Structure 1
Amino acid sequence: MRKLFTGVFAAVLALLPVLAPAEGEPAGKFDYYVLALSWSPNWCELEGDSRGAEQCEARHDYGWTVHGLWPQFHRGWPSYCRTSEAPPSRAMSRSMADIMGSPGLAWHQWKKHGTCTGLSAASYYALTREAYGRVTRPAVFRRLEQAVTLPASLIEEAFLKENAALTQDSLTITCRDGRIQEARICLSKDLQPVPCGRDVIKDCTLKNARFAPVR
């Protein structure tokens, strides 16, 4: 019995480095990117309004914003990597607010994910902006005048219709607390759509997810 327990314990330990995120790894070692696009009105309902986030003020008119551009392994992901690159200046992070909602988020994404790319802060921000620009965000969602409930699959279908290069294997829609949360798009290092890993391609299956209108 003891041998059986030892064998099972060893097998579990062997899996842990594969299943868990890796922190403090050398920069530049990863397989592909995930571009995470957040529906800002839903984030504001869940978190932003209670924080008094400037991003949620109607004058900004945010729809799909960049949550992050994340280096990814085929299973798992690196974070907070060792890098000799200098962090972004405040001005550099402020310049990303138009697509990310806030300079604070831009800086956090550099610290957690950008350091793992092997790029400079300026290059990481530029690549994030390029990735965002390559994806057509369906305009139909900006025309909503009031909150609706809809199947999460409808969000995926809209993105696939507007982006011929995307496939169901390279796109996943996530939900949180009954709301559409994000569209996550898997991209190669040169920003071409690629199949997502098994730990990323987990579509939301809600049939009645809340989708708030642009403010």
Structure 2
Amino acid sequence: MLRRRIRLAVQSTAIAVSFVFLFAVVAFAQTDRRQNAPGQFDFYVLSLSWSPSYCEAARERSPDRAPDQQCAGRPYSFVVHGLWPQYEKGFPSYCQVPAPRLNRNIVGSALEMMPSPRLVFHEWDRHGTCSGLSPNAYFEAMRKARAVVKIPEDYLALAKPITVNPGQVVDAFLEANPGLTRSNIAVGCDRKRLTEVRVCLTREFGFRDCGEITRRACRLNKVTMPAVRGGAANAAEP
């Protein structure tokens, strides 16, 4: 009797394990089959980071640490965080390991859009390798994507910190960019600051809907936008 119970228990366990395995296989089959295949994606997200928020958060985390290049050099407002290939659900990353190296000229050119070499390298390794493009072509695509999106004038040289509703920021981008709709853009935040704006683009750099991105937008009613360093002086220039 005892042996029979043990045998039945083993059989039940085996059946349960089989169901778990089958469920895992089905779940895997439902994920995007192009996972991490370079060049195989549906659209881009252009992520524009509000640099003053990054720098303020970095100071809070490490007040005694010397500021990095983004926070000690020229003043920045919205900067390109990255151009990210996306699936309709999820996204690829690190599609070539090790990634093809970037030469000095490519990095120098990218710094016109991005605030630090470290960010340039990171974005190429994680996202650029999934574009299916060469380094030159990827950063040229980033340049084209950035040229599509106009930053609202009020945010170019913000002279003092302001408190905004994320919807106000979306409205400002919609007004500055004819053809952009609420289903194409999402504002990101941490617990108190606006951190970034994400704009969804087709592979040909037209605005497009992206439900998964907009569903993850900031849900706070009010967030702070710290001032741009030297913003008052910049605003006073003709």
| Shared fold per TM-score greater than 0.5 | yes
1:200/1:13 Cα in 2 relative to 1: closer, same or farther (>3 Å)? farther
Confirm or deny that 1:169 pairs with 2:183: yes
Q: 1:26 to 1:84 in 2, by over 3 A?
A: farther
Change (3 A) 1:82 1:162: same
- Looking at secondary structure, tell me which structure has more strand per residue: 1
- Max radius of gyration: which structure? 2
Count of residues paired in the alignment = 212
Q: 2:126 aligns to what?
A: 112
Matched ranges for 1:70-85 at <5 A: 70-82=84-96
Task: Assess if the C-alpha contact under 8 Å between 2:183 and 2:214 holds in 1.
Answer: no
1:58-78 deviation digits (Å, cap 9, x = unpaired) = x51211100100000000100
Percent identity among equivalent residues? 34
* RMSD between superposed Cα atoms in Å: 2.7
Aligned match of 2:135: 121
User: How far apart in 2 are the matches of 1:84 and 1:101?
Assistant: 24
What TM-score comes out, normalization by structure 2 length? 0.79
Deviations along 1:24-59, one digit per CA (max 9) or x if unpaired, are: x221110000000000001111126845111112x5
Deviation at 1:178, TM superposition (A): 1.1
- What residue identity is the alignment partner of 2:87? F
Equivalent pair of 1:48/1:56 in contact (CA under 8 Å):
no
Q: SS of 1:198's equivalent?
A: helix
Which residue is equivalent to 1:39? Answer: 50
Q: Structure 2 CA distance, aligned partners of 1:139 and 1:47?
A: 26
Q: 1:202: how far off?
A: 2.1
- Secondary structure at the counterpart of residue 181 of structure 1: strand
Give yes or no for contact 2:184–2:214 (8 Å, CA) kept in 1: no
Q: Does residue 151 of structure 2 align to residue 137 of structure 1? A: yes
Partner residue of 1:56? 71
Matched to 1:53, the amino acid is D
SS in 2 for 1:125: helix
In structure 1, C-alpha distance between the alignment counterparts of 2:196 and 2:82, rounded to whole Å? 11
Shift of residue 207, structure 1, vs aligned partner: 1.7
Unpaired runs of at least 5, structure 2: 1-11, 230-238
| TM, length-normalised to structure 1 | 0.86
Unaligned runs of 5+ in 1: none
2:108 aligned to which of 64, 71, 94: 94
